[in-house]
Structure 1
Amino acid sequence: MAAKSPVAPNSPATPGAKPAARSPRRRAREFVLQGLYQWQVSGNDEAAIEAHLGDTEGFDKADRDFFVGLLRGALAQRESLQERLQVYLDRPFAELSPIEACVLLAGAFELKNHPQTPYGVIINESIELAKGYGGTDGHKYVNGVLDKLAASLRPAEVEAKRAARSRSR
């Protein structure tokens, strides 16, 4: 799965600039995206995906437990996650680009099942994945959909953040 943009994910945008350090969780999310993409495009099962990605360069720097939990969870809950997401989509889930569909599945799973991670972090990580691997404006679509999903899954957290923003103005 290659990036569509001329600048690869986390590569310097300007000559001489250093790439941003990627945390083990960021790396895990990137591998989850690759795994979900493999599942969607080729139909590989979890075991084959995990074995293949486990041998991929850089996987040793990813948070393996987080990767496994996110990949397996998103695949196990894909039908219910797709139903939740569909409410906020402008077309059937099956008509989304494979990258945006996979980013949305992973983001939705994390929003639903990882309340210890702030929703803003999950959305920002999803946006970065969509920017790095998706179409030109796919990150905007991902942002809009996950923002609406977060408001329905985590209303108190979203409202508290909005209230804090309005107080700081």
Structure 2
Amino acid sequence: MQTNRKSKGARRQSRILALNMMYLIDICNLSVEEAIKVVFDFREKIYSEAVKKFSSFLIIATVQNLNFIDEEIKKHLKNWTIDRLCAIDRNILRLATCEFLCCPQTPVAVVINEAIEIAKEYSTVDSGKFVNGVLDKIKHLRENKELISKFLKFSDNI
């Protein structure tokens, strides 16, 4: 049986799982450990170890650096506060910003495109454009070698 829907790659699955976890942390005030457990226990589908590992890494790195990440996002919001953003958009921006910093091997264009596609699938009609606009302004962080080095040292400890 053929379907028109493409199978999602491992990294896309990881990003979607991390978004689910981030939403639970943000809206339901769960701890990182609780959110990881809920998401992995809730899904009947068995995810590969690679998917579990990357989604767990992404959520831990994002939460542990949330203040810095939120400050970077706030710098590029016009007439909005981070708390007023749709929760899905807010957390897509957080995860993508973290990925800019913690995963320099992933091209910036890939991080942005993945965030846009996830926003279009899970958020509002205009979310893809909004996420694209904000991330396009934040992507300069990748050029800061000292900052990337700090985040790479951090990610080695996760």
> Fold-level match, TM-score > 0.5?
yes
Structure 2: where are the runs of 5+ without partners?
Answer: 145-158
Q: Which residue pairs with 1:43 in the alignment? A: 29
Q: Distance in 2 between matches of 1:59 and 1:142?
A: 30
Query: Which of residues 39, 54, 64 is equivalent to 1:66?
Result: 54
Is 1:93 paired with 2:79?
no
Structure 1: where are the runs of 5+ without partners?
Answer: 1-15, 157-169
Q: Distance in 2 between matches of 1:117 and 1:19?
A: 24
CA 129–114 in structure 1, closer or farther in 2 if over 3 Å, else same:
same
Kept in 2: contact 1:111–1:119 (CA 8 A): yes
The TM-score normalised by the length of structure 2 is 0.83
Percent identity over paired residues:
29
Q: Which residue pairs with 1:107 in the alignment? A: 96
- SS of the aligned residue for 1:143 comes to helix
The number of aligned residues is: 140
- Displacement of 1:59 in angstroms is 4.8
Trace 1:7-156 onto structure 2 (pairs within 5 A).
18-55=4-41, 56-61=43-48, 63-90=51-78, 91-150=80-139, 152-155=140-143
The TM-score normalised by the length of structure 1 is 0.78
Structure with more helix by fraction: 2
The structure having more radius of gyration, on CA atoms, is: 1
Kept in 2: contact 1:53–1:59 (CA 8 A): no
Q: Distance in 2 between matches of 1:130 and 1:77?
A: 22
Deviations 1:29-79 (A, max 9, x none): 001011111111110001111111112133514611111110111111111
CA 89–75 in structure 1, closer or farther in 2 if over 3 Å, else same:
same
The one-letter code sitting in structure 2 at the alignment partner of 1:48 is: E
Trace 1:150-169 onto structure 2 (pairs within 5 A).
150=139, 152-155=140-143
